[in-house]
Amino acid sequence: MFEKPEQTEIAVIGAGPAGVAAAVTAARAGAQVVLLDESPRAGGQYYKQPAFGADETQSAADFPAPSAIADNIRKGRELLADLEHPKITFRNSTLVWNVLPEERILNLYGPHGAQTLQAQRIIFAAGAYERLMPFPGWTKPGVCTVGGAQLLLKSQGLKIGQRLLLAGTGPLLQLAAVQFLEAGMEVAAILELQSRKEFLLNAPKLWGHWDKLGQGMANQKRLLKAGIPFKFGYSVAEALGEEEVNGAMIMKVNAKAEPIPGSEETLEVDTICLNFGFVPAIELPRVAGCATVFDEYFSSFAIATNKDLETDVSGFFATGETGGIGGVEVALLEGKLAGAAASRQLGYAPEINELALQKEQQQARKAVATLGTMFPLKSGLTKLATDEVPVCRCEEVSAGDVRRAIAMGVTQLNQLKPWTRAGMGRCQGRICGGIMSQIIAHETGMTLNEIQPFTARTPIKPVPMEAVSGVEDSGEFTWEDHVGYGEART
Amino acid sequence: MNKLEADVIIIGGGIIGCATAYNLIKKGLDVLLIERNGIGSGATGRSGGGIRQSARVSNEIPLAMESVALFPGLSDELGIDIEYTRSGNFRLVEMPDHRRPMQVDIARQQSHGLDVSWLGVTDVLELAPGLRWQNILGASYCPEDGHCDPLRMVSGFYHKAKEDGLKVLLNSDVQNIQQMDNGQAEVETNTHSLKAAKIVIAAGFGSQELCRKIGLDLPLQNVRYESMITEPLPPILSQMFGVASSDLFFRQTQNGGIHFGGGLIEEENEEDTRTTGDNLKMAVAHISRLVKDLGKANLLRTWGGLDPSTPDGMPILDFLNENVLLATGFCGHGLALGPMVGRYLAEWLATDQCPEALEPFKRNRFDGWLQTKWTPSGAFAADLATEATQTSGTGTVGSGIAFMTPPEYDDAESADQQKLLAVNPEMCTGCRMCESACSIEHEKIMRQTGLRIQVAYPSDDYFLPIMCIHCEDTHCMEACVYDALEINDYGIVTVIEDNCIACMLCIPACPTGGITFVDSKETVVKCNLCGGDPVCARYCPTQAITFRAIDTNMREKMDDFMSKNLDSRIDR
């Protein structure tokens, strides 16, 4: 922090659809852009590119993936081709672990160690995490997120298991099930938390959003044809198996998503994939001091933005999922808008019809919001997490510990920390924060918007001490340990 | 508006508030605790967890010894494992300049009956093999000290008190405190109106504001403390560690994380729990120098916030009026005192008799204290300031540097004379307040290296602040070959940082040692008189350093003093 940081005009954090769109738009307008991403390849989770290793010439068609995924990869590759722009520097495998809002400095840690980057405008496009709900056995090997299983397929062409159970709520379940089927995996069942009645009552809301409706219908049809049971009003209640999953107990749930005793059934599966929607990754903007807003459609906190997607901290923009769950269309539109607004503030003239884009973006947001209302989050499901079930995995805090703290008067996530150490481990509450706020909501009758998320703390993800201090730790230095010593002499 | 009544209302759910509540409940009183955030969310949550008696101000040592004696039984008493280990406390000495003051300080602590001793580096390494020997000269060691988990401890007191009938108002912010005609006092919060005979203010950094509400302005200043923790590591350290310069503490928690932090930065009275980038970097670099192989470990989380401090490094425990008892200003070392202070305060509230042990902490010790902005300082420095005897040191002493009888200053000042810093070593107590002030003024952080002013300890009873005395000969400028030093409008030599390549030719050229090298800046630094209001003179408690007009007579004396010094250097 004393050495002079590297300078750029615009820094974009996250190379998913939103980040790539923002970087490309700003660079085409003439601004110098640095695009940062934690993973080795651009594309984000949605346009995840396969890990071909050194052989980048291999075409997407050769990739052993089902057509739905190959199609996705091809689309992503087309988008990423735009990154080949002289004004864009893409810094992969680089974690942004801190932001100093006054100076607009980002602290980076990547292949070249610790670095600092000072940008005149900063665009957050960090995407979202999957939301999980705990139940007995959810920490066993064999339980994973739907997105995690998809990633394995997209990036490595690997199957997560032989016989899968998909559980949760939302349209991703069907979409992923189709991909898994095409990849040659067996899908035992899909469990949707919402009841059939509610779903059918809500379905007309999609009137007019033909593409969404069409997509859903096509997936449904495909699954029906394969004879996969799609169970409304069900949830997975327990992961069975000694050391790893070899089966799942499923249960019917009522309108509040509370499990109905006596409705237990057992399925033989080797993998349980979960998805209860998404939570925006907003740690970095919150460290920068950006105000949050509660996204009631997806029951999560997101960053508040104006129509230029600028946050209340001037010079900082939030796009895509960071500003509320929106999906890929919203991300692409908002990326363009933020890239245009940021470059315009720096005196460039982006060649983009912003008014038309804004209109399109609002429509897209509305459509996604409709989807959100169809798959509401219900805290009754926390009943599945009996007192002995761990909810904070890093610090090994059980649901019972959390409930006891609530009984003693805790009403906020931050207040849980001194009692239970929950949220103080490696994940910093990214996984457990959402779960515990639901437990608080269920136990106290509060609504989720009253329960603030854990305070975002620097570093937002664990980072080596030497990256923070800038002083490399060589340990007890000996010549034998010195890499390349032998080669140098011969 | 909801109304509630109790015998005692406690404002603040930190360690002091909770321990007092617990002891009052044990005495059978009806107690209500108000907390605006969460239990232990203030300074208690930012505590380092050190449970120590050593390295304290003399007046605090008896209280600390009593309190530490309670700790072994605390886990059983509270019914929660507070992770207390009595593994000893080290105060590491990293710089030769700190060795002698530390040994003087150890003798002082021993005179209070404390089992504390000086250990050389080999002895330190034997007890704490996780340290890097390269950067340690020795340490003070107190085997009776230890550490615990502050959050578990505070929630233990709170749980136990709540089980026994403590009434609690969480998420409630006190707006006003008023005395009523019937001898009771009224507390208004944003949700409730409460009445009680006695009110305890133990609100940490919010206490100053509450005191002002009842018309009292006490010398409390909120100071920023920051904590950091690494991921769980295999056990490498069992003791509690501090450093002689008071700007770092560290310990390994029971689940393996290295919990460290410290750093004092002057801060406005606003609560911001984020950490500041510079301090984080300094603290991480500092601990990496002291503990082996820490560079590859992951840093997990950092947090920070305010804690009130007093000028003498001791808390204020006193009644502000018939109803309101204040217990705050623990200056970052209140955790270990908590259990005993809680007992005494409960006794005081129940009997209306100030316990003997709390007499030194009354607020009347600040009567006549000038309400000026002051620089907070660690207990170590404050103690030296009060205890060091003032003796005259003249003649040639110490490490070959020649000292002469200090110049006699006359107070005649005239406006057209240039004002410069004048030092009177006879007045200097070696408290190093000037170092802290200078460091905070220029670097925004309390540091012990690369200082523009540094107090030398040539002998046990002779202290001398060393800095640029702005001589007319400007040997430094002659030595500089890169034009990095120039005489500014005020007539003093300043460093042009862009030109300086840190060749350090000017450092030996200066006869007083007024130029130092700062590795973080990669330039040399020297006194620039703070642009006309030097903080060292402003904060010097004994006026050993003064900013005054210098006449020809004095100029000559100073030059004479210097030339002797220069000669002695050349001789060597």
Q: Per residue of chain B (572 residues), what is the pLDDT tens digit? A: 567 889 999 999 999 999 999 999 999 999 999 998 888 888 898 889 999 999 888 889 999 999 999 999 999 999 989 999 999 999 998 877 778 778 888 888 898 899 999 998 889 999 999 898 888 889 999 999 999 999 999 989 999 999 999 999 888 899 999 988 888 999 999 888 999 999 999 999 889 889 988 888 888 888 888 889 999 888 899 999 998 877 789 999 998 899 998 765 555 556 666 676 777 888 888 898 888 888 888 999 998 888 888 877 889 999 998 999 999 998 888 899 999 999 999 999 999 999 999 999 998 887 755 433 333 333 333 333 333 322 222 222 222 222 323 333 444 444 455 677 877 777 777 777 788 788 878 877 666 666 788 877 766 666 778 788 787 778 888 888 888 888 887 778 888 888 888 787 888 777 777 888 876 777 888 888 887 788 888 888 777 888 877 767 767 766 666 666 555 444 33
- Nearest CA-CA distance, residue A419 and chain B, Å: 6
A415 touches chain B (CB under 8 A): yes
The tokens of A103 are what? 């100076």
Contact (CB<8Å) A468/B284: yes
CA triple B394-B398-B404, angle to 5 deg? 30
The answer regarding whether domain B89-143+221-308 maps to CATH 3.30.9.10 reads yes
Strand, helix or coil for residue B449:
coil
Q: Which residues of B touch A96 (CB under 8 A)?
A: none
Identity of residue B424: N
The tokens of A362 are what? 């609002």
Residue A109, beta-bridge partner list: A95, A114
Contact (CB<8Å) B298/A98: no
B273 touches chain A (CB under 8 A): yes
Contact (CB<8Å) A418/B295: no
pLDDT per 10-residue tile (average), chain A, 490 residues: 79 96 96 94 88 51 63 86 94 93 91 90 95 94 94 85 94 91 91 88 77 82 91 94 93 92 94 94 93 92 94 95 93 96 94 91 90 88 94 92 89 86 88 92 93 90 86 48 32
B245 touches chain A (CB under 8 A): no
The tokens of A343 are what? 């470059």
How many CA atoms lie within 13 Å of B21's alpha carbon, on the beta-carbon side? 34
Q: Which residues of B touch A287 (CB under 8 A)?
A: 274
Q: Which position has the token pair 């969460």?
A: B38
Q: Which residues of B touch A468 (CB under 8 A)?
A: 280-281, 284, 299
Q: In residues, how long is chain A?
A: 490
Contacts of A446 (CB under 8 A, 6+ apart): A411, A440
Strand duo B249-252 + B258-266: pairing: antiparallel
Nearest Cα neighbor of B89 from B62, B69, B117 is B117
State how far the Cα of B537 lies from the Cα of B527, in Å rounded to an integer.
12
Q: What is the pLDDT of residue A240?
A: 95
CA triple A478-A481-A485, angle to 5 deg? 100
pTM of full prediction above 0.90: no
State how far the Cα of B225 lies from the Cα of B247, in Å rounded to an integer.
10
Contacts of A191 (CB under 8 A, 6+ apart): A165, A166, A167, A168, A231, A234, A235, A236, A250
Q: Which position has the token pair 């309108």?
A: A255
Q: What is the pLDDT of residue A63?
A: 55
Phi-psi region of B326 (alpha: psi -120 to 50; beta: other; left: phi over 0): beta
- In this structure, the dihedral spanned by the alpha carbons of residues A76, A82, A83 and A85, taken in order and rounded to 10 degrees, is 170
Q: Which position has the token pair 């690369």?
A: B450
Nearest Cα neighbor of B4 from B26, B29, B25, B33 is B33
Count of A–B CB contacts within 8 Å?
A: 117
The tokens of B155 are what? 């929630």
Q: Which residues of A touch B168 (CB under 8 A)?
A: 409
Contact (CB<8Å) B155/A471: no
Q: What is the pLDDT of residue A88?
A: 96
Q: What is the DSSP letter of A310?
A: B
Contact (CB<8Å) A458/B278: no
CA triple B348-B350-B354, angle to 5 deg? 20
The tokens of A226 are what? 């394969």
Q: Which position has the token pair 């004048």?
A: B422
State how far the Cα of B301 lies from the Cα of B281, in Å rounded to an integer.
13
Q: Where are the domains of chain B?
A: 1-80+148-218+310-367, 89-143+221-308, 400-571
- Nearest CA-CA distance, residue A3 and chain B, Å: 8
| Chain B residue with minimum CA distance to A408 | B159
Residue B146, beta-bridge partner list: B51
- The interface predicted TM-score (ipTM) is 0.85
Cβ A126 vs Cβ A287: under 8 Å: no
Strand, helix or coil for residue A235:
strand
Contact (CB<8Å) B288/A465: yes
B299 touches chain A (CB under 8 A): yes
List the single residue in B39, B231, B293 with the smallest CB-CB distance to A426.
B231
CA A362 to chain centroid: 22
- Nearest CA-CA distance, residue A138 and chain B, Å: 23
CA A105 to chain centroid: 24
Contact (CB<8Å) A411/B231: no
List the single residue in A107, A415, A466 with the smallest CB-CB distance to B295.
A466
CATH homologous superfamily for the domain B1-80+148-218+310-367: FAD/NAD(P)-binding domain (3.50.50.60)
In tens, the pLDDT along B319-374 reads: 998 999 999 998 888 899 999 999 999 999 999 999 999 999 998 887 755 433 33
CB atoms within 10 A of CB B302: 23
Contacts of B29 (CB under 8 A, 6+ apart): B7, B8, B349, B350
State how far the Cα of B251 lies from the Cα of B259, in Å rounded to an integer.
5
Contact (CB<8Å) B170/A465: no
In tens, the pLDDT along B250-274 reads: 999 998 899 998 765 555 556 666 6
Q: Which position has the token pair 């052989």?
A: A55
Phi, psi of A166 (to 5 degrees): -105, 130
CATH classification number, B400-571, choose in 3.90.1150.10, 1.10.10.10, 3.30.70.20, 3.40.50.1820? 3.30.70.20
Cβ A10 vs Cβ A35: under 8 Å: no
Same fold: B1-80+148-218+310-367 with B400-571: no
- Nearest CA-CA distance, residue B296 and chain A, Å: 5
Phi, psi of A189 (to 5 degrees): -170, 160
- In this structure, the dihedral spanned by the alpha carbons of residues B43, B47, B52 and B58, taken in order and rounded to 10 degrees, is -40
Q: Which position has the token pair 């949220």?
A: A423
- b/e B193-207 (16+ beta carbons within 10 angstroms → b): ebbbbbbbbbbbbbb
State how far the Cα of A392 lies from the Cα of A402, in Å rounded to an integer.
9
Q: In residues, how long is chain B?
A: 572
The tokens of B136 are what? 């340690």
- Nearest CA-CA distance, residue A425 and chain B, Å: 7
**Which of 497-536 (B) contact A at CB < 8 A?**
520-521
B271 touches chain A (CB under 8 A): no
- Nearest CA-CA distance, residue A475 and chain B, Å: 5
List the single residue in B159, B293, B300 with the smallest CB-CB distance to A462.
B300
Contact (CB<8Å) B281/A470: yes
The tokens of B204 are what? 């940490």
Contact (CB<8Å) B168/A412: no
